[in-house]
Amino acid sequence: MDAVADHYASSNLTGRILAAFDDAGIERGSIDADALASVDEFHLGGRAASEVVLDALTGATSLLDVGCGIGGFARLAARRLEADVTGIDLTPEFVSTASELSDHVGLGSTVAFAVGSALDLDVDDGSLDAITLLHVGMNIADKAAMFAEFKRVLRPGGTAVIYDIMRTSAGSITYPVPWASSANESFVDTARGYIEALESADLACSEPVDLRQLTLDTLAAVAARPPAAVNLGHLMGVNFPTMFSNLMRLVNSGVVAPTMIVATKD
Ligand SMILES: C[S@@+](CC[C@H](N)C(=O)[O-])C[C@H]1O[C@@H](n2cnc3c(N)ncnc32)[C@H](O)[C@@H]1O
């Protein structure tokens, strides 16, 4: 897990994000939650994919976003759902940035963030309506242990929405990719592997939903617009273009696909 946190760690992240707005001539006081979407939704399909995940959470009044990054999805969920939302993440710098950015956009009192591990949730048994896991499982070797934790903390009838990059065919992964600098931190699995791990934790699964086309459409729309003030390069540093092109080669060659699975506790 240290290697995973090292992959994502950087220093002065909030300062660098706000400085990027300065460089684009945007007043810091005018930055709202939507203006952060190009840097704080660190998953394929960005906001459009987040909307698909939100659709699976209708009616949830308590949500834990596991591996929340700098908090984009948690902030969006807090605005859209009438729910208590908490985000946890392994990477301390991401958690402090999530809190600082939430304060900056006036959402500091509506969503909470803490350092924590997906494998050891600091949450009471049966206390949550919903859990989200967005592009995190690629860093988790023991998915069955993680899903057993999900089952423990969900209430009966509760839902876990998993949206990860899943393997769709054989083919080697060239590193770095956005979730890993090397194979040491990378545990990409098939949708079948996820379903087996979820079912081993006694969670019932939906059919996997492939969000590849949504991702490609979103990237085309982004390319057609003027560049945003901030982007994932500000989050992940100068290697991000290489990480992203390695990932898109895998998506375009059918080795992996962004895939959503909804799991429910009976
Ligand atoms: C690709 S980022 C996705 C962030 C966020 N979910 C999003 O969609 O914007 C993966 C995140 O998972 C976190 N992570 C990886 N392994 C974790 C673990 N075992 N427990 C908690 N967080 C973890 C990383 O620190 C990183 O913030």
How confident is the chain (266 residues) per 10-residue block, as mean pLDDT? Answer: 88 95 96 96 98 96 98 97 96 97 96 98 98 98 98 98 98 97 97 98 97 97 94 94 97 98 97
Number of structural domains the chain divides into = 1
Ligand 1 centroid to Cα of residue 109, in Å, is: 22
**What residues have CB less than 8 Å from 195, skipping those under 6 apart?**
205, 208, 261
The pLDDT value given to residue 203: 98
The pLDDT value given to residue 82: 85
Strands 154-167 and 203-205: unpaired
Ligand 1 is surrounded, with C-beta below 6 A, by: 1, 4, 8, 41-43, 67-69, 72-73, 89-91, 94, 117-119, 134-136, 139-140, 178-179
Q: What is the CATH number of the domain that holds 133?
A: 3.40.50.150
Q: Which domain holds residue 8?
A: 2-265
Q: Which of 266, 258, 264 is nearest to 191 (CA)?
A: 258
Under 8 Å between Cβ of 41 and 47: yes
**Chain centre distance of CA 256:** 17
Partners of 115 in the beta sheet? 89
Instruction: Return the ligand 1 atom nearest residue 146 CA.
Output: 19
Partners of 247 in the beta sheet? none
Protein residue with its CA nearest to atom 4 in ligand 1: 69
- Percentages (nearest 5) of helix, strand, coil residues in the chain: 45, 20, 35
CA atoms within 13 A on the CB side of 239: 15
Under 8 Å between Cβ of 114 and 83: no
Assessment of whether the complete model's pTM goes beyond 0.85: yes
Which segments within the chain are labelled E, that is strand? Answer: 62-66, 84-89, 111-115, 128-134, 154-167, 203-205, 209-210, 256-265
The pLDDT value given to residue 104: 97
The pLDDT value given to residue 1: 78
Q: Hey, how many other C-beta atoms are within 10 angstroms of the C-beta on 213?
A: 11
